[in-house]
Structure 1
Amino acid sequence: MLRIAPVTLSTDRLILQPLTLDHVPALAKAASDGDLWEKKTTTVPRPEGFEDYVKKALELQAAGLALPFATTVRDGNQIVGSTRFMNIDAANHRVEIGTTWIAKSWQRSFVNTHAKFLMLRHAFEDLGCNAVEIRTHSLNDQSRAAIERLGAKLDGILRRHMIMPDGHIRDTAVYSIIREEWPEVRARLEKRLPA
């Protein structure tokens, strides 16, 4: 059985801190960098919705279903987004990395690489996961390319999976990395960490 508890994960450039209500103003500011709530392939609240967003994340954490983080760049201690372990399947030693978003000016930087490295390392080496799943909107080409660069394999498409805030129905691309693939994925990520 997985025993997932709040933890701080860090590299020399990035910190994943357990999410708290104290992070609400900084998250709202980060989401405003690029008006992320306007993007049709992700679900990020408007600035005024972040208190409810964090409260819901903490409810899921209390129920053992999620472990949310504030994504913080060390230089300037700036919160630039959020991510979480979710859909935790403790009995089968599986987690999903999801609800990930990054302020527009930090996209395509080191942030996503460092965050995924930290979460995957924690999942496989500390928690002993058999598999880590990553899902995204099938039309989110930027996200799919980033997931594939990690070395994750496409498991399939969940057709007509979710109704998005704007009312369109999302097909979801489901990827995973399994325990046996982690050493190769880790080596690939470690080469990219200085970037």
Structure 2
Amino acid sequence: DLWIISSNGAVTRSLTGETFHRDLLPLETARALCAQMDEFRGNLVITFDREGKGALLLEHLEELTLSIRRWLEKNMECIEFSRPIEQALGSDPLQAMFCGSVERMRQAAAVLASAPVRAHITQLKTEYPARDLCILDVLNRSCSKGHALERWAHHRGIAPEAVVAIGDNHNDAEMLNFAGRAFIMENAAPELKENGWTVTRSNDACGVAAVVDLLIE
């Protein structure tokens, strides 16, 4: 009876494939996003809740950072290329991702902050300064790991005080705020360390295992 919250909270599904909840980005919102973020089309990847070709949609690879290109190249069988990207947008996607250098994504975030579509979306950020990599995730309004975790806990009758969450980046903040026991990795984004959450070891030093050991002592 294991369930996974994925795609920044957009999908909650069991390991056997049973879906509890999906919070998709409405098609018209996705189309508006593409139009209003036109100068960042080369950084845009749109994901869908499907397997095989078409699970990932983008215009081209040329403007993406090396690490993102490597990830996409490993999943080439899932990619559909379309110019313009709207031509292949025929159903509600899971989310849109703008991927690029930290500075490029700061520019994208500034444009998105003043775009009309901003009122209809949730914007989350995952940033790795050491790799000069930033991902801006765009989801349906009010969709996040925190909202998904709260929905699942309520469904199972689990109080927030009994929930444990472990995170390391900006897109984990809502989830950490909900959990009664919140931990962050030693290598977490510096801003997360300002919230008073317990710091465990880094990702490379078995930080999750250290939390489990602490909880079962």
Same fold by TM-score greater than 0.5:
no
Tell which structure's C-alpha radius of gyration is larger.
2
Of the two structures, which has the highest relative contact order with CA contacts closer than 8 Å and spacing of 6 or more? 1
What's the TM-score bracket when you normalise by the shorter of the two chains? 0.3 to 0.5
Could you tell me the TM-score, scaled by structure 2's length?
A: 0.32
Higher helix share: 2
